[in-house]
Amino acid sequence: MRHQLSAQLLLGLAIALVASAMRNQPSNAQSKTFYCGMSKGVAATMARTPRGNLPVIRWDSAYFSGSGWNQQRRCQEVSLRFQRYYDNGTLKYITTGQMNKQSVVCVASHKGGDCTGLLFTIKPGNTPDRTLAKLLNYRTLAAGDSPNESAGERLYIDINEFINTIPLEGETSNKSV
């Protein structure tokens, strides 16, 4: 009798723990996974979302290859950073800034906020906001129509809004490498 009661108590406790763990998991509709894949024939940081696999950044510049950071390596490292910042809740906005006297693309927790984490370094001599707009393939901004750029303000891109507006590509361009 005592053994049966203990077994029922353990079963009840196990069910409660599983139910609690499931309740604390993020919903599939809101979860994203960032990974290095291929888009239009080049390495790309991709976002796996309920809408499909979407290219966030295409790594077509070989500028940093001489220092050991070819397109594939940058793609893999930056994709891991996107995922880490997403998982810890700091990937709200993507912006530009300075770290170690170099121009960088970084994450910020709010619009107007400081860099809270490095995504990647920008090629010396390039305009940071224009580089960010071009890399993210943000057509209006890349064309120079950004009100932020003309006002002399830093560009802040809301990552969720951006990902929700990225057009879907053909099925073959979204395959992971």
What confidence category does residue 130 fall into, taking pLDDT thresholds of 50, 70 and 90?
confident
pLDDT given at position 4: 58
d(CA 145, CA 71): 28
Domain ranges of the chain: 33-168
> Dihedral (C-alpha) 154, 30, 46, 162: value to the nearest 10 degrees?
-30
pLDDT given at position 144: 44
pLDDT tens digits for range 41-80: 999 999 999 988 988 888 988 778 788 888 999 999 999 9
What confidence category does residue 137 fall into, taking pLDDT thresholds of 50, 70 and 90?
low
Q: Could you give the 3-state DSSP secondary structure of residue 33? A: strand
pLDDT given at position 155: 87
> How much of the chain exceeds pLDDT 90, in percent?
38
Rama region for 76: left / alpha / beta (φ>0; ψ in -120 to 50; rest): alpha
Q: Which two tokens stand for residue 84?
A: 């880490």
Arithmetic mean of pLDDT over the chain: 75
pLDDT given at position 64: 83
What confidence category does residue 20 fall into, taking pLDDT thresholds of 50, 70 and 90?
very low
pLDDT tens digits for range 146-172: 434 334 578 899 998 888 887 776 533
